[in-house]
Homo-oligomer: A and B are copies of this chain.
Amino acid sequence: MRSSFERQRVMATLGVTLAQVEAGRVELELAFDPKLTQQHGFMHAGIIASALDSACGYAAFSLMPADAGVLTVEYKINFLAPAAADRFRLIGTVVKAGRTLTVCQGDAIGLRAEKRQLVATMTSTVMAVHGRNEVRQ
């Protein structure tokens, strides 16, 4: 997983790091970056969504056979609060793992001092691509 992650240049560009990995659950972390803000100085929702989609993709990947890769088919995200935080925890969890399709649930948590706030929630469908060991997004 780490090697797949490191080959995604966008992750370094956005400042996303792999925080925690277990079977069926992956946590990424995203630091606040003024270059990625909207006009209020909050992180742009799309950046949160990108990182959360990746957390879901890697959660699915964690349950795949060694020769499989994953590909995001679709996702739906609801934005629940402005992304006003110092850093974000992106938690992807597998809801249902299938041979071809895996459904994941993602939560983006804003962290500032002691405060944790759910800023977005996602459902995504990812497809296993056999014979290609990768996460494609």
* A residues whose Cβ falls under 8 Å from a Cβ of B: 4, 7-10, 13, 34-40, 42, 44-47, 49-51, 53-54, 71-82, 95-96, 100-101, 103, 105, 118, 121, 123, 125, 127, 134-137
Contacts and interface: CB of A to CB of B under 8 A. Distances in A.
Given A8-B38, A39-B134, A74-B76, 11 more contacts: A7-B38, A8-B37, A9-B36, A10-B44, A39-B135, A46-B54, A73-B101, A76-B77, A80-B103, A95-B121, A105-B121
Contact of A45 (B39, B44, B72): B72
A82 B76 CA distance: 19
Q: Give this chain's copy count.
A: 4
A43 to B, nearest CB: 8
A4 to B, nearest CB: 7
11 contacts: A9-B36, A9-B39, A10-B46, A39-B134, A39-B135, A46-B51, A46-B53, A73-B73, A73-B125, A74-B123, A80-B95
Contacts of A53: 45-46, 49
Nearest to A33: B13
